[in-house]
Structure 1
Amino acid sequence: MANIPLPVAVLTGFLGAGKTTLLNFLLKDPFLADAAVIINEFGEIGIDHLLVERSDENIVELASGCLCCTIRGDLIVTIHDLLARRQRGEVRPFNRILIETTGLADPAPVLHAVMSEPSLVAACRLEGVITVVDAVNGMATLDSHPEAVKQVAVADRIVLTKVDLLVGREGEEMLFAIIGRLRKLNPAARLLTTHRNEATAERLFTMGLFDPKTKTLDVQGWLSAEAYVTGEKRGRRHRQDDHGHRHVHDHDVSRHDEHIRSFSFTETNPVSPQGLELFMELLKSYHGSNLLRMKAIVRVSDDPSRPVVLHGVQHVFHPPVRLQAWPDADERTRFVFIVKDIERSMIEKLFRAFTDQIGGSEILTDKTLSLKR
């Protein structure tokens, strides 16, 4: 905990959702005064030039004090260049990185770069994903574009824009409908609006496992396992209701939403390192492309007092982190998933099959789980 890597957040959202407007607002917040921002140079709108103070090649210093640069080619190269300049003292120090994607982007490749590139893993850690959704056009966007559904599904924070444009009874119905849909797609993400400046930088960026200010862990908030249980119940009610009722505005949510599922499960007994590694390998092999997001804290049998934290996006997993102690009184293994076209029973049965120590999972592989100690 003494040398925590730089937190990296990803800001995404579909075309026209108000992502760049939100970014301009956030960059005026003192909370981000020591941030570095990476934007895609093919984005639909550039950073407000009124914020620009000076420019140095592709590095721009904003009036707020933030550094900003555009993606030139590979994202990994851009981050390396920014970190190297920081190390050499060529740019002012920064304490976090914010990456803005284009409106059509699948956020997964950006997350993969941060989570799997060996040279970046040592210097950076994924803080989370902020997804911007247009309250007025969001339903139609989710109906028409699977990319927009995925952006919501992988989010840690969802920002609802243009709420003030929803007026009257019809506007109220639209607001309830979009909120319900977002909750179904991603029950654990914290939902904020730009209305009355609710979506502040501090509320948005305090979403990671590690709190760099207090040097402590927030496993409960990061996992949000209880929200997945609520989401499963809501999903079952929704499916039952579909048999006999039409939903407001007749949006065809079955086009994309019905492929997305969220769930969680727990285990009291310690899990063997070998069984856990085999489970993770098979999970990636069989379901990697449809594993939108996975988080877990695991009680491992080689040292039950020091749990392991796991975090994956599709087939890419961040190197496991071994904690020095349990962060709270709940010492159970807890997994949470957001997936596409995978039933909960498939993953839970796979987990039970290869982590049941009575079943002899230790003899199925001689590999050991690589853990940060």
Structure 2
Amino acid sequence: MVQPPPPPDSRRPEPIPLTVLTGFLGAGKTTLLNRWLGDPALSDTVVIVNEFGEIGLDHLLIERVDEDMVLLGAGCLCCTVRGDLIATLEDLLRQRDNGRITPFRRVVIETTGLADPAPILHALIYHPYLVMRYRLQSVVTVVDAVHGAATLDAHLEALRQAAVADRLVLTKEDVARETVALRARLAALNPVAPILPADTPAEQLLGGLFGLDGKGEDVRAWLGADAMADEPEDGRDVNRHDASIQAICLTSEAPVPRPAFEMFLDLLRSGHGPKILRLKGLVALADDPERPLVIHGVQHVVHAPVALPSWPDPDRTSRLVLILNDLDPAFVQRLWDAFLGRPRIDAPDAAALTDNPLAIPGG
């Protein structure tokens, strides 16, 4: 159930911003990460990798702190995940709180090239302790401009990496013959994520919604909802190459009744949670419409909502952006409309929804 955020606790430390860096094998994650670590603004960062040997940071290593952690020349810490990611994140907090390592201000998790990022994001927003101490800000996915199209054709992991991203970074553009088709495919696969060059400043890539103190443009960029309005006029299916993964933006100009919103989320998550790769939004609830809730979820888990002190801009429209895998966007739209009291359901679909609200009409 979506509950109001707890009252501020002055004794609780501010959550530490966390970014997930992903991308398929050979896409250029290591090069991008090395560039980030050369930025003085990231000097108090912890980088989490799977094994030190898998990432080219050797020239930055200056001191081994313990078996699983080294200090980098850039002033950052780098630790390896030999077991469970949650255990690694908890251990970092213990060492930080006990003064055994220098306090860090940011965490970057670099996944393996074959990783499906959804379980990682699921862990980051599900664990009751980690959600208090870390705040997921952005998912940055690196895509190879030379081999990206072939990789998307051959590997589901690459599709998911692109689909859940907040920002897509296109590498090797200087040696690619052309990138127009790849850019169009990525935009269709994930219309809410901007496609940025590899030399984009680190802070622009790592930043996110949380901690922005109501900056309107950053909120709108995080949501990416404006991009959802750019539908093709000829009615063609822009997702024709990747029909299993599609995006949808649900809106409501009127404040949403809390019970209706909670029931909508509960029904969608319980019936189709594994098919929701990403969910994020800004929602005005009827009982507190001037303090919109920031909604952030993966699969059947939704992060504890964060209430902004006020609307970031004059637009009071509630917006929910979902990236779906093998789930009909039209069904999700009809479900949303039904809970808001504005059903637009044809007779056969209405019968299907009444008999089994968890079923996908026609699916």
Q: The TM-score by the shorter chain falls in which range?
A: 0.7 to 0.9
Which residue number in structure 1 is paired with residue 192 of structure 2?
A: 188
5+ residue gaps, structure 1, are 243-252, 359-373
**Do structure 1's residue 50 and structure 2's residue 59 form an aligned pair?**
yes
CA gap of 1:357–1:15, structure 2 versus 1, over 3 A, is closer
Which residue number in structure 2 is paired with residue 282 of structure 1?
A: 267
User: TM-score normalized by structure 2?
Assistant: 0.85
CA gap of 1:44–1:154, structure 2 versus 1, over 3 A, is farther
* Paired residue total: 331
How far does residue 157 in structure 1 lie from its aligned partner after superposition? Answer: 1.1
Counterpart contact for 2:23–2:161, Cα < 8 Å: yes
CA RMSD of aligned residues (A): 2.2
How far does residue 287 in structure 1 lie from its aligned partner after superposition? Answer: 1.8
Which residue number in structure 1 is paired with residue 352 of structure 2?
A: none
CA gap of 1:17–1:79, structure 2 versus 1, over 3 A, is same
**Do structure 1's residue 265 and structure 2's residue 250 form an aligned pair?**
yes
**Do structure 1's residue 222 and structure 2's residue 222 form an aligned pair?**
yes
Which residue number in structure 2 is paired with residue 202 of structure 1?
A: 203
Which residue number in structure 1 is paired with residue 171 of structure 2?
A: 161
How far does residue 282 in structure 1 lie from its aligned partner after superposition? Answer: 0.5
Counterpart contact for 1:11–1:131, Cα < 8 Å: yes
> Which string of whole-angstrom CA distances, capped at 9 and with x for unpartnered residues, describes residues 100-158 of structure 1?
10000000111111101000011111111111111111111000001100000000111
CA gap of 1:236–1:83, structure 2 versus 1, over 3 A, is farther
How far does residue 343 in structure 1 lie from its aligned partner after superposition? Answer: 2.5
* Residue identity (%): 48
Counterpart contact for 1:271–1:357, Cα < 8 Å: no
CA gap of 1:25–1:81, structure 2 versus 1, over 3 A, is same
- Aligned equivalents of 1:159 and 1:65: distance in 2? 25
Counterpart contact for 1:210–1:216, Cα < 8 Å: no
How far does residue 319 in structure 1 lie from its aligned partner after superposition? Answer: 1.0
Q: Bigger shift: 324-333 or 30-39?
A: 324-333
Which residue number in structure 2 is paired with residue 142 of structure 1?
A: 152
CA gap of 1:146–1:44, structure 2 versus 1, over 3 A, is farther
Which residue number in structure 2 is paired with residue 237 of structure 1?
A: 236
- Aligned equivalents of 1:306 and 1:280: distance in 2? 19
CA gap of 1:65–1:287, structure 2 versus 1, over 3 A, is same
Which residue number in structure 2 is paired with residue 317 of structure 1?
A: 302
CA gap of 1:76–1:31, structure 2 versus 1, over 3 A, is same
- Aligned equivalents of 2:195 and 2:234: distance in 1? 18
Give the SS at the match of 2:265.
Answer: helix
- Aligned equivalents of 1:104 and 1:76: distance in 2? 19
Instruction: Please give the residue correspondences for 1:290-369 in structure 2 after superposition, counting only pairs within 5 Å.
Output: 290-356=275-341
- Aligned match for 1:60, one of 47, 53, 70: 70
- Aligned equivalents of 1:77 and 1:180: distance in 2? 39
**Do structure 1's residue 32 and structure 2's residue 42 form an aligned pair?**
yes
Counterpart contact for 1:184–1:234, Cα < 8 Å: no
How far does residue 44 in structure 1 lie from its aligned partner after superposition? Answer: 7.1
Which residue number in structure 2 is paired with residue 12 of structure 1?
A: 22
Give the SS at the match of 1:53.
Answer: strand
Give the SS at the match of 2:54.
Answer: coil
Instruction: Please give the residue correspondences for 1:69-148 in structure 2 after superposition, counting only pairs within 5 Å.
Output: 69-148=79-158
> Which string of whole-angstrom CA distances, capped at 9 and with x for unpartnered residues, describes residues 232-271 of structure 1?
43894355xx9xxxxxxxxxx63xx121111213112222
- Aligned match for 1:22, one of 27, 32, 57: 32
What amino acid is the match of 1:46?
Answer: I
- Aligned equivalents of 1:46 and 1:235: distance in 2? 45
Counterpart contact for 2:214–2:312, Cα < 8 Å: no
**Do structure 1's residue 176 and structure 2's residue 186 form an aligned pair?**
no
Give the SS at the match of 2:286.
Answer: coil
Give the SS at the match of 1:136.
Answer: coil
Counterpart contact for 1:271–1:356, Cα < 8 Å: no
